[in-house]
Structure 1
Amino acid sequence: MKTLLLVRHANALHESVKGDFYRHLSAKGLDEAKQMAVTVKETGHVPQLIISSEAARALTTATIFADTFGLDKPKTNAAIYEGNEQKLLRIINKFPDGFDNIALVGHNPDISNLLLLLTGQMRDVPTCTVASISFEFDEWETISANTGDLDWYSTPENS
């Protein structure tokens, strides 16, 4: 059985001199990330590995989660930043099978669309939303559309 923890990055500043990719978390975003990481830990949905977009706001969110969980620093995948739900699914299909629970930290609308693709459930995904999806497979490569069950979903507002 595989479990995917989808995480939308926390609230970010609206602008960066260097462009969208370099936008940092706002003070609200830093608080959101810390709060949600603790919530995930308290509810037992801690992944074994975190894979993040390389964009500053996503990587900072992922790092806060990793630190809270006592994990190694997040791995990054450049394709997450410019992905869509199909690209993200291809990334998931290449996850190492030695890990049964992996978190993917990315951006909207891709995270919302991926959640819909994998579970058939449309949910509002505000910043720092976390969704845990389980799959009845032993290999990541077998995951496809409508094969996941949404087991847990939380936003900063309801955590």
Structure 2
Amino acid sequence: MSDTSRRIIVLRHAKADWPQVADHERPLADRGRHEAPEAGQWLTDSGINPEYVLCSSAVRTRETWKLASHELPKRTRRTVFEDRIYDATAGEIIEVLKETPEEVADLLLVGHNPGVQNLVEVLAGDESLGDELAQLRQGGFPTAGIAVLTFDDPWSAVEPGVARLVSYWVPPRD
């Protein structure tokens, strides 16, 4: 057991457009360009300024992170654009999380559904806040939604049930 509390902040990419391009190359829609900064502002308002970001290499996730990050008070120390997060299962994302440097306390993951929702559900242990977990399970993980999980073990020990879901936010829809 580590004496360092860690956070995994999971951000689903903002609303994407559907132009005639490969899925990996889909950009944000107009709504997504408004949602992403709202997500960044929520992070700032919540006192979250991640030091390490794992972002899918897809265009829509990269654009989401760029727009969200402009709302943060400090620049993130390191952003890694990771091909393995694109179209990944919860188990595949967990394997990527296990490679996080141990000195990192706050990690933000920018990814896609259904992988990010499944990841949150799999990591969230029995001590997670019931309302947030129920809301996520019932309403899904909408675009630009954010889930915040905490745990006290080393990154190499990330596994199902190890974390606690402490916050869940969905951007307002007009």
* TM-score normalised to structure 1 length: 0.92
Contact kept in structure 1, 2:150 and 2:164, CA below 8 Å: yes
- Structure 2 unaligned regions, length at least 5: 126-132
Aligned-residue CA RMSD (Å): 1.5
Contact kept in structure 1, 2:148 and 2:166, CA below 8 Å: yes
Match of 1:102 in 2: 107
**Displacement of 1:6:** 0.3
- Structure 1 unaligned regions, length at least 5: none
2:81 aligned partner, one-letter code: T
Query: Helix, strand or coil: the match of 2:71?
Result: helix
1:39-89 superposed Cα distances (whole Å, 9 cap, x missing partner) = 110111221121100000001111122222232473211000031100000
1:112-138 superposed Cα distances (whole Å, 9 cap, x missing partner) = 10011000546120000001100021x
**Displacement of 1:18:** 2.7
Contact kept in structure 2, 1:34 and 1:64, CA below 8 Å: yes
Alignment of 1:49 with 2:64, yes or no, is: no
**Displacement of 1:152:** 0.9
Match of 1:92 in 2: 97
Structure 1 runs of 4+ with >4 Å offset: none
Overall identity of the aligned pairs, in %: 24
Residue 117 of structure 2, aligned match among 112, 116, 123: 112
Query: Helix, strand or coil: the match of 1:52?
Result: strand
Query: Helix, strand or coil: the match of 2:67?
Result: helix
2:71 aligned partner, one-letter code: T
Match of 1:132 in 2: 148
Contact kept in structure 1, 2:14 and 2:28, CA below 8 Å: yes
Residue 11 of structure 2, aligned match among 7, 13, 23: 7
1:105 aligned partner, one-letter code: V
* TM-score normalised to structure 2 length: 0.84
Match of 1:152 in 2: 167
1:151 aligned partner, one-letter code: V
